[in-house]
């Protein structure tokens, strides 16, 4: 039986990030070049927000966060969700202040890497430089791939794609890909997918009715990953 992903307290992955370069590896080396501090961000609190000075990159060690893009006239858009192993704040490189919000959706633990020092460290740890630019490039690819989904898929298929993406990311961290708890509300999913929350709700209900998934509030089980996959226009990537 799967164990659903329900960390009520701050904790990292059950398995040490299988099949991924361990985050811990750089850390000792890294600490020789800068002061890495740990931060706890409680659910609902900001890790950083629009207008605050940019002085560090952040590595998510545990928890779950979202990033929101803001416009001057008050519009808002969720641009992504971040979990263990994800880098945050990279979009502000080259700026004096952050231009978006990062909000914890559950209590989270973050490693703070002061920014100018990171650049210097890159000169001494070439591997870090590779890791950093790769992280930036992955960010671009992620965003672009969602642009494609939003630009070309109807509502229900976007939701299916969203569930599969979440599942595969959880799986890479060692959590169950078939049974998990959504950490964000319908409205956040809707904003991210350029939909309204009622539409997301209807899409989930319909996918359940088709027998592809089961949903109860925030608890999700993927019952037929194959069908969910070709519904989302992507070959099944998990399992």
Partner DNA sequence: GGCCGGAGTTGATCCCGGTCAAGACCCCTG
Partner DNA sequence: CAGGGGTCTTGACCGGGATCAACTCCGGCC
**Which position among 3, 185, 211, 226 is part of the footprint of DNA (CB under 7 A)?**
185
Q: Is 74 in the site for DNA (CB under 7 A)?
A: no
Q: Is 199 in the site for DNA (CB under 7 A)?
A: yes
Segment contacting DNA by CB under 7 A, of 17-25, 28-36, 59-67, 179-187: 179-187
- Binders of DNA in range 145-164 (CB under 7 A): 154-156
Q: Is 44 left (phi over 0), alpha (psi -120 to 50) or beta?
A: left
Q: Is 38 in the site for DNA (CB under 7 A)?
A: no
**Which whole-number Å values give the CA distances from 192 to 31, 78, 112, 148, in the listed order?**
35, 5, 26, 13
Q: Is 201 in the site for DNA (CB under 7 A)?
A: yes
Q: Is 19 in the site for a copy of itself (CB under 8 A)?
A: no
- Binders of a copy of itself in range 119-158 (CB under 8 A): 119, 122-123, 126, 129-130, 132-134, 136-141, 143-148, 150-153
**Which position among 32, 38, 75, 217 is part of the footprint of DNA (CB under 7 A)?**
217
Task: Identify which of residues 185 and 211 has a Cβ nearer to DNA in the complex.
Answer: 185
Question: For residue 164, what are its two tokens?
Answer: 């599969």
> Whose structure tokens read 């990311």?
169
- Binders of a copy of itself in range 47-86 (CB under 8 A): 69-73, 75-77, 79
Phi, psi dihedrals of residue 46, rounded to the nearest 5° = -90, 135
Query: Which partner from the list a copy of itself, DNA, none does 19 bind, CB cut-off 5 to 8 Å by kind?
Result: none
Query: Which partner from the list DNA, a copy of itself, none does 145 bind, CB cut-off 5 to 8 Å by kind?
Result: a copy of itself
Question: For residue 225, what are its two tokens?
Answer: 């990953």
Segment contacting DNA by CB under 7 A, of 83-91, 107-115, 125-133, 197-205: 197-205
Query: Which partner from the list a copy of itself, DNA, none does 108 bind, CB cut-off 5 to 8 Å by kind?
Result: none
Query: Which partner from the list DNA, a copy of itself, none does 96 bind, CB cut-off 5 to 8 Å by kind?
Result: none
Interacting residue ranges for DNA, rule: CB under 7 A: 154-156, 182, 185-187, 194-202, 204-205, 215, 217-218
């Amino acid at each position: 039986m799967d164990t659903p992903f329900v960390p009520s307290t701050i904790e990292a992955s059950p398995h040490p990030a299988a099949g991924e370069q361990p985050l811990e590896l750089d850390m000792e080396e890294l600490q020789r070049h800068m002061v890495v501090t740990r931060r706890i961000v409680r659910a609902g609190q900001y890790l950083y927000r629009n207008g605050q000075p940019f002085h560090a990159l952040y590595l998510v060690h545990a928890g779950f966060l979202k990033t929101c893009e803001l416009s001057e006239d008050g519009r808002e858009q969720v641009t992504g969700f971040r979990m263990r192993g994800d880098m945050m704040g990279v979009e502000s490189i080259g700026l004096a202040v952050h231009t978006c919000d990062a909000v914890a959706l559950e209590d989270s633990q973050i490693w703070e890497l002061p920014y100018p020092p990171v650049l210097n460290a890159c000169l001494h740890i070439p591997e870090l430089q590779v890791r950093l630019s790769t992280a930036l490039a992955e960010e671009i690819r992620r965003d672009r791939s969602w642009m494609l989904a939003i630009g070309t898929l109807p509502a229900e298929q976007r939701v299916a794609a969203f569930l599969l993406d979440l599942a595969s990311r959880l799986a890479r961290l060692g959590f169950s890909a078939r049974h998990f708890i959504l950490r964000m509300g319908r409205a956040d999913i809707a904003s991210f997918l350029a939909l309204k929350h009622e539409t997301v709700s209807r899409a989930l209900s319909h996918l359940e009715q088709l027998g592809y998934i089961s949903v109860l509030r925030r608890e999700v089980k993927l019952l037929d990953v194959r069908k969910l996959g070709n519904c989302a226009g992507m070959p099944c990537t998990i399992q």
